[in-house]
Structure 1
């Protein structure tokens, strides 16, 4: 995380990655999943998750799995399969341009699992969609 000071009253925080933003903003939620005996799955089409961030967020590094360099066209199917497996406490996926059909597929998969899904728009990091 990079911090820039423009004035004493204003501080802008720039995240190196959308995943770093999720770790910072959702830390209490993600830490609560450490107690479960399930995986914590992070999916993206490029390397975005650093072990130092995982450690600083207080997550169990032995439970965190990051699958990087995934094909964007298969990402929705990969998320669906992860949810259907019911072996993850949560899935965080960096995905852009979800169409209505893909959103419906993911909402259906989440409703049938006991997994939390966090979708991050890589192009607009502030946009975070959370499903339970």
Structure 2
């Protein structure tokens, strides 16, 4: 995360990744889910996340599993399988172009699981980055 001070009244914050933004904005939720004795699964088509981000957010990095460089077409199936396993307290996934059929598949899998699913619209984030 980069913080740029333009004036005392204006502070611009740029995140290196949508996951870094998620860790910052949902820190209290993630900390409460961190208390469960389950895995924390992070899925992305990007490289691995920085471990320092988990430390800053106060998450137990021993419970964090990261699957990086996934192809978007495999992401939905991977999320479904992880939800069905019921071994994660939450799953955070960066996803592109989520269509109605994929939404229904994920909603069904979530309803049958006790796992929290956090989806980050990576395409929207990339569009925001282009405008900075």
Does the pair score TM above 0.5? Answer: yes
Aligned residue for 1:124, secondary structure, equals helix
Query: What's the TM-score, normalizing by structure 1?
Result: 0.91
Where do residues 78-117 of structure 1 align in structure 2 (5 Å cutoff)?
78-117=78-117
Q: Deviations over 1:68-125 (max 9, x none)?
A: 0112111000001100100000000000110000001101100000000000011323
Q: CA deviation at 1:48?
A: 4.5
What is the count of residue pairs matched by the alignment?
A: 126
Structure 1 CA distance for aligned equivalents of residues 11 and 86 of structure 2:
41
Partner in structure 1 of residue 63 of structure 2:
63
Cα distance in structure 1, aligned partners of 2:94 and 2:48: 9
**Residue in 2 aligned with 1:72?**
72
Q: 1:49 corresponds to which residue?
A: 49
Distance 1:91 1:116 in 2: 6
Whether the 8 Å CA contact 2:46–2:69 is kept in 1: the answer is yes
What's 1:24 paired with?
Answer: 24
CA distance in 1, matches of 2:124, 2:114: 27
Q: Which structure 2 segments of 5+ residues have no match?
A: 127-132
CA RMSD of the aligned region, Å? Answer: 1.3
Residue 118 of structure 1 pairs with residue 100 of structure 2: no
Moved over 6 A (4+): none
CA distance in structure 2 between the partners assigned to 1:72 and 1:81 by the alignment: 15
Q: Give CA-to-partner distance per residue, 1:43-67, whole Å, 9 cap, x none.
A: 0011151100001111001100110
1:17–1:48 contact (8 Å) kept in structure 2: no
Task: Give the TM-score normalised by the residue count of structure 2.
Answer: 0.91
Which structure is higher in helix share?
Answer: 2
Gaps of 5+ in 1: 127-132
| In structure 1, distance between residues paired with 2:58 and 2:6 | 30
